[in-house]
Amino acid sequence: MSSGYEEISFGGGDPDREPWLQAWTRAHARLLAVCFTVAAVLVAAGTGGRHLYERSREPLPPPDAPFPVQVRIAAHLCGLGAEAWACQERREATEADGRAVEERMRAMPELAGAAFVSREEDRRRTLAYYTEAGEPEKIELAFLHARVEGTLRRSEDFTAVAERIEELPGVNRVLRVPTDFWAGRADFAVHLCGTDDWSRYACPKHRPAGVTGSASAVEKRTVLDRIRDLPGAGTVYLESRDHRVRLLRHYHPERPAGDPLFRSDRSYETFYVRFSGPADLPAAAAALKSLPGVRSVAPVRAGGHPEGHPLAADRTAVSGCGAPRPGTGACPAGERST
C-alpha cells in the first residue's frame, strides 16, 4: 500500500539508473565551467576594485621634488606698544624711515630688489589671509607692522646682508621669508595635533577631556574622510613630522642645529589638499577646524604667511635685547629677552 510519499533517489538503488544531477552536470559541463570562471572573475574584480577604491582615498606622501631656493627676506621696522620689538631708537619707525631703508637696500649689490610694505598694507594682506582661513576675527590679534621686503641674488649672502641692514635706523631685525614648498602643489593645509606647544593649547578644545598628544589613527581617518567630502577636493598629501623638520631646516639654515624648531618630537603632521577647481576655502576651514585631532587650518599661498613665514612662531614673542642675532631673533650671549 502506498504511503503517499515518493521516494527520492540519490543513486543508491538501481546501479543501471544514473542519478539525474550527475547526468545533467555531465551534459552541461562546459556551461558550468564558464559560469564558475565568470563568477570567480567578478568576485576578484569586486575585491580588487574595493581595494583600489580604498587605496585611491589614502593620502599621498609629499611630492619627490627639490626644495625651493630661499632668497626672500624682510627687514622688520620698529613698532610701539603691543607690537613693540626692541629697537635702539626706542620709537616707532616712520614711513620716511621705511622708505630710506628701502632705498639703501635697493643699492645693495647682493639684492635683486626691495619694496616697502606699510602697516596698512600689512593689515590688508593679513585680513585676506585670515578670511580665507575662515577666521577673519584673528586680525584683531595679528602682529601688524611695516617692513621692507627684499630678494637676495644668492641665499648664502643672507647673514652678511642682514647684519648691514640691521645697522640702519628704524630696523628691528631681518628675517628670511620662506618660499613655501607647498605653494603650487596644494591649496589648503590641515595641521594635525602634535606634541608642540601650540597643539597643547589649541587641541584640547575639540577633544574629549583627558585626550592629549598627537592625532590618533581614528582622528586622522575622520579628518581625511571629511576632507574627501569637500566639494572639489582632489589630491591629498600627508606630510610627516620628519618632512616638516627637513623643510624648516631648509627655510632657516642660520638657526643652530639644536634649535627646538627642528625637534621631531615637538612637531606634527599635516594634510595638504589640492582642489580640482575654485574652492570655497572659508567653508572648508569651517568644516575641518573643530574636528578632534585638528590643530589648525590655513590656506597655502605663494607669498606665504602675511606676517613673514608660515611655520616659525618666534615672531609672536617680544625680544628685549637691543640687537638679536641676524635671522634668528635670538639675543646675543649675555643678554636676556623679556
| Per-residue pLDDT at 246 exceeds 50 | yes
The tens digit of pLDDT for each residue in 79-132 reads 765 445 557 666 788 899 999 999 999 999 999 999 999 999 999 999 998 888
Of 120-124, 138-142, 308-312, the least confident: 308-312
CATH architecture, range 188-302: 2-Layer Sandwich (3.30)
Cα separation of 318 and 242, whole Å? 29
Residues 11-53 have pLDDT tens digits of 555 555 556 667 766 777 777 677 777 666 565 555 554 444 4
**pTM (two decimals):** 0.73
Establish whether domains 72-176 and 188-302 are of one fold: yes
User: In the chain, where are the structural domains located?
Assistant: 72-176, 188-302
Fold of 72-176: Alpha-Beta Plaits (3.30.70)
Round to whole Å and give the CA distance between 143 and 128: 14
Q: How confident is the model at residue 215 (pLDDT cuts 50, 70, 90)?
A: very high
Paired with 149 in beta bridges are: 74, 115
Q: What does the pLDDT read at residue 277? A: 86
Percent of the chain with pLDDT over 70: 72
Q: Whole-angstrom Cα distance, residue 226 to residue 228? A: 5
234-243 mean pLDDT: 97
Q: Which one of 111-115, 194-198, 210-214 scores highest in mean pLDDT?
A: 111-115
Rounded distance between C-alpha atoms, residue 149 and residue 117, angstroms: 7
DSSP β-bridge partners for residue 186? 183
